[in-house]
Structure 1
Amino acid sequence: MVLVRKKELNMEDIMHLQQALNQEMSIVSISAFLKAKVKIVRTIQKLGLGGGGFYKTGPRRALMGLGLTWEPIKYKYEFQRSVDGSETQPIPLYLSFLVKRSLQDAYSHIEKVTNLTSVESILLSMSPNTAIINFYPTGGGLNLHQDRNESKESLRKGLPVVSFSNGDSGEVLYGDDRDEYAAENIILESGDLLIFGGKSRHIFHGVRPVIPNSAPKELLEEIGLRPGRLNLTFRKY
């Protein structure tokens, strides 16, 4: 797992990034534009209050699906959720565009700092048709798991999962199995963009309890986001 921030990288950063790309490992990039973050959160807040909006999957997690939703009981994606029979809402064009634009920006940034010219041949692009939105309040998290219930074609191609983080920071674990003690970890902050595909498409990943009071002050003042971490993951089923 590699963290790439949109600033000048030192040689060690570049070497780590090149190694990760050669191994088709995950890439993390950061978008720090407040205007974009505010629009993302407001879009989700509006969708979350409508039909097919957020519902609690437990005391410390709320979920909403766009395009398709995740059915934890049936353990598969559906257009209609069993908890209340609601159908999913489509992914807003703005968010779909943001995903594709973020992928292109990430490719351009990687090519610039590594002199690679074929990043997309290693980490494919995709047009999302499924978004899973999770809200983790203070103390909320998610055990190590794999995202491997998409279509056979999507999994075979290693199409990337694109994740946006907003609000409080979260410690993300990742590794080759479910062993939390052997897992690596990174801190994802508000505005971070995580992309994982290729061989790392099946990586185990999870979230430890969110870090309280770590959200950017300006974001809280702008939209009044409640304490917790809002995470959006986009994929092509």
Structure 2
Amino acid sequence: MAQIQIVKICQKLGKGPGGFYQPGYKSTGAKLRLQMMCLGLNWDPETREYEKVRSIDGCEPPAIPDKFSWLVQRAIRGAHALIRKDRRVNNVENILPAMSPDICIVNFYKTNGRLGLHQDHDETNYSLRKGLPVVSFSVGDSAEFLYGDERDLHKAEKVILESGDVLIFGGDSRHIFHGVSSIIPNSAPVFLLERTHLRPGRLNLTFREY
């Protein structure tokens, strides 16, 4: 299954050069409550810029595996099919543009992991202006995902993302605020744990086009 393949590929890449590390902020010494690995280009959470070489250790980010790119295209095609059915429109790319991912940010949240409300707006002006989508895959434990038009926890809506769920936001929704308020322990599928020995927590991959 796709979830097993995603985990095994990330486990292999995560142990090599440019693999998982705990990002933080030099100015305060604070660490994010997650482990991160970037594919294609590295994203620095302190400078909020993309770079070809990871500044913390000089490693080049691994390339995005072909399997991942195929899954992204499959997800976008599925979303287009739903839009055609629900909206009864022909040119679905006016609502959700297509994209070819050249960046993937892989986050692993332990059971105490969190991520505050934020926008993904560090890509190129072209990518943001066109509303090229962010495609997100959730694997492992479920997470409480927050989203809204404002950076306000009290106004944010909440949805539970389970293992295998795909979330896409693009077009008019490209700039939504979103975050992870909590991880739900012991909610990962048993088959996934047995086949991959995934540690307790949630693996999240977000793809975008720079």
Q: Is contact 2:95–2:172 with CA below 8 Å preserved after alignment?
A: no
Alignment of 1:177-188 (within 5 A): 177-188=150-161
Q: Secondary structure at the match of 1:163?
A: strand
Q: Secondary structure at the match of 1:70?
A: strand
Paired-residue identity, %: 58
> Once the 2 structures are TM-superposed, how far is the Cα of residue 112 of structure 1 from its aligned partner?
3.3
1:90 alignment partner, one of 45, 56, 63: 63
Alpha-carbon RMSD across the aligned residues, in angstroms, is 1.2
Partner Cα separation in structure 2 for residue 37 and residue 114 of structure 1: 30
Partner Cα separation in structure 2 for residue 69 and residue 59 of structure 1: 16
Name the residue aligned to 2:163: 190
Name the residue aligned to 1:120: 93
CA 1:114 to 1:152, structure 2 compared with 1: closer, same or farther past 3 Å?
A: closer
1:146 pairs with 2:112: no
Partner Cα separation in structure 1 for residue 53 and residue 8 of structure 2: 24
Gaps of 5+ in 1: 1-34
Partner Cα separation in structure 1 for residue 34 and residue 11 of structure 2: 15
Alignment of 1:1-150 (within 5 A): 35-57=1-23, 58=31, 60-150=33-123
Partner Cα separation in structure 2 for residue 227 and residue 145 of structure 1: 25
Name the residue aligned to 1:4: none
**TM-score where L is the length of structure 2:** 0.93
Query: Across the two proteins, how many residue pairs are aligned to each other?
Result: 203
**TM-score where L is the length of structure 1:** 0.82
Considering fraction of residues, name the structure with more helix. 1
Gaps of 5+ in 2: 24-30
1:168 pairs with 2:168: no
Name the residue aligned to 2:131: 158
> Once the 2 structures are TM-superposed, how far is the Cα of residue 81 of structure 1 from its aligned partner?
1.3
**Per-residue Cα deviation, 1:126-173 (whole angstroms, up to 9, x for no partner):** 000000000000110100000001000000000000000000000111
> Once the 2 structures are TM-superposed, how far is the Cα of residue 114 of structure 1 from its aligned partner?
4.7
Partner Cα separation in structure 1 for residue 81 and residue 174 of structure 2: 21
